[in-house]
A and B are shown apart, each in its own frame.
Chain A
């Protein structure tokens, strides 16, 4: 086992899958010679050539549409959208095409594409390099939505996504590309899509998070642990399909639920997790559900003071944990 950065784990997954399966191709803007703006694909064009590592025209709908056609015709395309903020032109291709191909053909055709995109705030990226887009996709039946929070998961889940028979939206917390390091098991390390992970055990309250916020939630949990509040932290890993049983089992144990995400509040994942718990475990709750999220704003503004004013941080999460534990 070696310690790796998240971006390295992602590159390894792409490299190993391309070596393992000649049907795997990578396409997107600047993914070839430059290796992508975050260098996730660096070195791949030298190894696998320009036929499999394709610098595309600047056209998001085209990138995803081409990936879909290639997938129906036998390839395993991994499409990179340079930033999640620019995925919107491809929404029609993702929602009306990729997500519906198996259903609309009554099972005759499948669409094994992966759409990778760096997402999230905290890098001073302003309105158009900071967005969280996961809820748009988690709302759509026929899509799997995956967000890793550790290098091991990034590698293992990306491998699963590439091997999956169906479309996977793979969102990478770009603030963690270099900031998050961790051990990645050697060999063909694969993490199944679906199951959430208990990132920290505790009995006083359940905190559900994913992506970069998982790390802030863990830091906050360490802070309040010193005050005698043991928080169980769940890393969702797969947002769709949601691992309901892991969430419910934890909430039944702790009786308290906090959801943390940097996506907007309204109709975010927190709303879904809260609804799930309200439907299935209301009488196990000892306190109302809480959410720490971005306020409903277009995205984090550029100026540092403005971004810091709205993006959830460890202090705010820790305070919410204390408040919830006391209720």
Chain B
């Protein structure tokens, strides 16, 4: 039977993907993306049920995040995520229960114990540094973290994630420039989902690609299809290699799209057409990857069914666990303004 050109390309890309990361990791990527999407959808449900006041999530950007995470060494490399990085966090090793505890603002939430809005990630065991709401402020922190790692002679790299809107801030410029001048081992990872709340990319910058901004700092800039986790994995892996070899930072743009409103407080119908959202869903990274797995003979309906059941169990467990977990104790509200005496060296 004759193959069409498109199929030929597709199967080639499956081969390339398999060669690049191996079947096991490809399957792990798919599992994390499916789990992330299911958790994400549940978060919106509990918000709409009035059980939690606010959510901000990752739907549409799962491939970019899982591809990047798989190129890092969890607990070894330093990570500064942003609020849309739920899939990244899952892939690095934050558990579904921990993510749900965060959404429910429980005492046991390891990110902030209910002090911050959901999705402001922090986890010392994974070297995930605490972040804030002001967009872009983590970018100079990443340069500083990389500086510290280099001074100590570690071979770890620092990974810093943000949206394209963040690239308009002064801190983006100051942080990237600093890292470039000092040739620090940092990966600046921009998830360009084409909107900063309602403001489209063309009102954010006069360049076509975020990666073009790299030239102004004298560093490597790469743009990659953010719906293809393998392509992202490869680009981030190369940036990690460069950083570890002392060749300095890389600015990566993963071109992607968010399928849901900016947050649970946003109505995206005001600023983008349903048609546009539907169009972009045709490149939903989850079915795209599933097709590739099927084509490579790594996946079938039975496995899909088993995964869906496993994921549903995990999401139910995480939700039930978090819902029943105790809220933070108001008596602790004034704690941790400063180091507590016992902790002082």
Contacts and interface: CB of A to CB of B under 8 A. Distances in A.
Given A62-B171, A109-B130, A69 B140 contact: yes
Given A61-B140, A65-B137, A66-B175, A104 B132 contact: yes
B141 A97 contact: yes
Contact of B175 (A62, A107, A142, A163): A62
Nearest to A107: B336
By size class, the interface of chain A is 35 or more
By size class, the interface of chain B is 35 or more
Interface in B168-206: 170-171, 173-175, 177-178, 181-182
Nearest to A141: B337
13 contacts: A51-B151, A54-B147, A64-B140, A66-B147, A69-B80, A70-B148, A89-B170, A92-B137, A93-B140, A103-B337, A104-B120, A105-B336, A107-B335
A41 to B, nearest CB: 17
A207 interface: no
A307 to B, nearest CB: 32
B129 interface: yes
Contacts of B132: 96-97, 100, 104
B78 interface: yes
Contacts of B123: 108
Given A52-B151, A96-B132, A62 B174 contact: yes
B174 A103 contact: no
Interface string A64-103: 1111111111110100000000000100110011001111
Interface of B: 78, 80, 110-116, 120, 122-124, 129-130, 132-134, 137-152, 158, 170-171, 173-175, 177-178, 181-182, 335-340, 343-345
Contacts of B110: 108
B171 A72 contact: no
B340 A69 contact: no
A83 B264 CA distance: 43
Nearest to A93: B137
A33 to B, nearest CB: 15
A303 to B, nearest CB: 33
Contacts of B139: 65
Given A71-B144, A96-B134, A105 B174 contact: no
Contacts of A97: 132, 137, 141
A181 interface: no
Interface in A107-166: 107-110, 141-142, 144, 163, 165-166
